[in-house]
Structure 1
């Protein structure tokens, strides 16, 4: 029995080695296949558009008039989405990784990550049919809330620092997300309760008319602000998950060494942890930006799909992805409209590809710079 087991062990080892090689080969083939598929998409778009563009098959004037508003709308929508998503996602990641208790973190992190599974069409539907009309009816309160919530968080932090030590123990930073909720709810109630009175005294009872008459800002029901809120909500979970993993991967000895030298938590966060986790945080932000640029249904349902070029956050826009989704089914293959949409798809593909490539290049350089730390994500 012993000899037979000894004889069978080399064959088992050989089988396991072959199985591992087969699995490695399949994984490598899958990765190569994905890369080739992406390159094939870019090559197909280029072969469809470039001959007509070089040969004069596209009118330059119409090309400029059609693509410029969509390019502007794409950047505008992505900018407002990042304005709302990045502070919330990075703030939540820093609090979850460095201040939250392990027990609470194990419950909150999966909950936030599950938000990423929510379909974009559902978010766009709610934003376009529920959020946009509600904000239009309560515009003064919604704008007041956007200013009061950040100010209220800073005020709560300043008040917490002035509390006695015994009170700080009961209101620890590890559970700040819990004891801040009643304070933020009070601020929200105050902003909407006092907004009609403030609107009556400062803006003559109609904030929309005042914005149009005094600042020249026209207000549309579905606008860039709505798109920013909805798309920021959609991309925030992915940015949070990647940034939180990067911050959690920083070696604990770095923070412990900074505390031993007399640094506060805030100094340790800004001068030690954030520089060490910079590669992962940068990658998280760029991935969020790439998704914001390519998002289709949220922009289509919450922006009004109007081809406008303005800095006004209360007006709609039209992005490249939304324009392709609306007009491509009706475009005749080979027509000028079809070639314009193909060119828009090629520009969108090239922009996303360049953004992701730039993110990877910068991330690699930052990784080499902080490699001496050890364990940097």
Structure 2
């Protein structure tokens, strides 16, 4: 039997070059296709909206009456979501990248990143049908938790700093994410147990009635606070993953040099590591804000979809994305309602585009500014 001749090195290298060229062409085509699709969406919206605006078929008073509450609701929902997500996500990223042990980090980081795969409709369902009624029944306890848990973390940090060396070895900072859990659970249980007595003593037994009578704040079951908690939970994994990667990418020699010059761990973090990772952290925050602005199902199921202009976190709102999702299927093509919804989509598209462009410009400037630190996060 005649054995086939082995392929020559030149033929193998030629096949590899052809394969690399094919992969390059496919990747380039995919990137160009995404850009063309995004531009096509913008062009379509412009072609649908501009003739109506220039021709006067859209009344300016109707535009203000329809779009102003939705624009306000979009910004309000994004604000409360980021107010909840940014401190937790950045705090977790700093602790994971700088202080957590490698063994614990290898387990915690993939778990937190997997949270990003949760569908928004599932989070919205839980927020609207489980979280919102529970918070309504335990309003005083819920507000107490928002105050007690951050103070509990600060108290634990202050106590840890004053522990003797033996106590710090038993409670290492690298495992703070584990030994803080029972402490925070104890504080949460105490807060929920004592909140009814405090509510009866200070607010006449019903905090909702007191807020309405004394402060003029009407509490809705589905409100901005519920949206902030639910949407912040959805945004937090992406902000954490990107910020943690940026912090982990800072060259270790920078921190070692700061320690060699006498800097403490916190001084190294604030004056060396965070400035070096600032471009990546900024990009993480802006990407999270972009998702919060464009989120649809969570806001639709947890906000009540009420067109209100209010600063109160206890009242609902209507966002542009949720309004489009609800009303566009029933709008008659070519009607005034249809064009108003397309105008809202155009504004949402333009806002997201401008935010992402601004984020990229600022990130590039920050990267050039901190390039002297020796890393490119």
* Fold in common (TM above 0.5): yes
Deviation at 1:373, TM superposition (A): 2.7
Distance 1:21 1:130 in 2: 53
Equivalence map 1:149-164=2 (5 Å): 149-164=149-164
SS at match of 1:277: helix
Q: CA deviation at 1:21?
A: 1.2
**C-alpha distance in 1 between matches for 2:178 and 2:16:** 51
Q: Counterpart of 2:93?
A: 93
Q: Which residue of 2 aligns with 1:104?
A: 104
Is 1:72 the counterpart of 2:72? The answer is: yes
Q: CA deviation at 1:129?
A: 0.4
Q: TM-score by structure 2 length? A: 0.98
| Alignment partners' CA distance in 2, 1:69 and 1:328 | 17
Query: After superposition, where does 1:195-234 map in structure 2 within 5 Å?
Result: 195-234=195-234
| Residue pair 2:276, 2:375 contacting (<8 A) in 1 also | no
* Counterpart in the other structure of 1:274: 274
Give the match for residue 27 of structure 2. Answer: 27
Q: CA deviation at 1:338?
A: 0.2
Structure 2: distance between partners of 1:226 and 1:275: 33
- Seen in structure 2, the aligned counterparts of structure 1 residues 6 and 370 have a Cα distance that, compared at 3 Å, is farther
* TM superposition score normalised by structure 1: 0.98
**Match of residue 300 from structure 1:** 300
Q: Post-superposition shift, 1:12?
A: 2.0
Question: How far has the Cα of 1:138 moved from its partner?
Answer: 0.3
Deviation string, structure 1 residues 45-67 (Cα, Å, up to 9, x no partner) = 01000110111010111110000
Tell me how far apart the structure 1 counterparts of residues 114 and 46 of structure 2 sit (CA, whole Å). Answer: 37
- Aligned position for 1:118: 118
Alpha-carbon separation, structure 1, partners of 2:125 and 2:6: 65
Superposed displacement of residue 5, structure 1 = 8.1
How has the CA–CA distance of structure 1 residues 15 and 61 changed in structure 2, closer, same or farther, with 3 Å as cutoff?
same
Is structure 2 residue 369 aligned with structure 1 residue 366? Answer: no
Distance across 2 between alignment mates of 1:371 and 1:9: 42
Report SS of the residue matched to 1:29.
helix
In the alignment, structure 2 segments of 5+ residues that lack a partner are none
Structure 2 match to 1:136: 136
> 1:11: how far off?
2.2
CA RMSD of aligned residues (A): 1.2
Give the superposition deviation at 1:174: 0.4
- For residues 150-203 of structure 1, what are the alpha-carbon distances to aligned partners after superposition, in whole Å with 9 as ceiling and x for unaligned? 111001000000000111011011000111111101110111111011111111
| 1:194 matched to 2:194 | yes
Distance in 1 between residues matched to 2:48 and 2:145, nearest whole Å:
48
Structure 1 residues not aligned, in runs of 5+: none
- Give structure 1 regions of 4+ aligned residues with deviation exceeding 4 angstroms: 4-7
The separation in 1 between residues aligned to 2:35 and 2:7, in whole angstroms, is 43
Aligned pairs for 1:329-344 (under 5 A) are 329-344=329-344
Tell me the residue number matched to 1:309. 309
For residues 266 and 46 of structure 2, what CA distance do their matches in structure 1 show? Answer: 50
Say which is worse superposed, 11-20 or 28-37, in terms of deviation: 11-20
Please state how far the C-alpha of 1:6 moved relative to its aligned partner.
10
Deviation at 1:334, TM superposition (A): 0.3
**CA shift at 1:212, angstroms?**
0.7
| d(CA) in 1 for partners of 2:7, 2:251 | 46
Aligned length: 374
Any idea what the Cα deviations from partners look like across 1:10-36, whole Å, max 9, x if unmatched?
222222112211111111111011001
Q: Shift of residue 113 of structure 1? A: 0.3
Instruction: Name the CA distance, whole Å, in 2 between partners of 1:207 and 1:269.
Output: 42
- Cα distance in 1 for partners of 2:7, 2:183 equals 72
Q: Secondary structure at the match of 1:129?
A: helix
Alpha-carbon displacement from aligned partner over 1:106-143 (angstroms, at most 9, x marks no partner): 00000000000000000000000000000000000000
In structure 1, the partner of 2:321 is 321
| Structure 1 counterpart of 2:290 | 290
What is the rounded CA distance, in whole Å, between the counterparts of 1:251 and 1:86 in structure 2? Answer: 24
Any conservation in 1 of the 2:255–2:272 contact (CA below 8 Å)? yes
**CA shift for structure 1 position 248:** 0.2
